[in-house]
């Protein structure tokens, strides 16, 4: 599934399975992992998850990209 570390791959697969289990069970009709919220009865949509993960990645990468190590003062003539 991935060429990176096996542990990271297994953790991401387990996280995906846990997110996929949220909603109403097809066999019994009981709510699974909905925490008594009716909005989670249909599960979590792929679009909000994708937008949230993209936003989280941008939030984590932005501060490190804008770090300035040395302050260069201009020389006026």
pLDDT of residue 67: 64
Q: Which of 69, 16, 63 is nearest to 44 (CA)?
A: 16
Burial class (CB in 10 A: 0-12, 13-18, 19+), 11: exposed
Domain residue spans in the chain?
A: 6-65
pLDDT of residue 28: 92
pLDDT of residue 1: 63
pLDDT of residue 42: 87
Burial class (CB in 10 A: 0-12, 13-18, 19+), 20: exposed
Q: What would the pLDDT profile of 14-52 be if each residue is shown by its tens digit?
A: 988 988 889 998 899 889 988 888 888 888 888 988 898
Contacts of 18 (CB under 8 A, 6+ apart): 33
> By mean pLDDT, which of 20-24, 27-31, 56-60, 66-70 is the weakest?
66-70
pLDDT of residue 39: 87
């Amino acid at each position: 599934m991935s060429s990176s570390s096996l542990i990271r791959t297994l953790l991401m697969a387990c996280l995906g399975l846990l997110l996929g289990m949220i909603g109403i069970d097809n066999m019994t009709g009981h709510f699974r992992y909905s925490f008594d919220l009716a909005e989670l009865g249909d599960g979590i949509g792929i679009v909000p998850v994708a937008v949230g993960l993209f936003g989280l990645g941008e939030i984590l990468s932005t501060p490190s990209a804008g770090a300035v190590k040395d302050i260069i003062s201009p020389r006026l003539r």
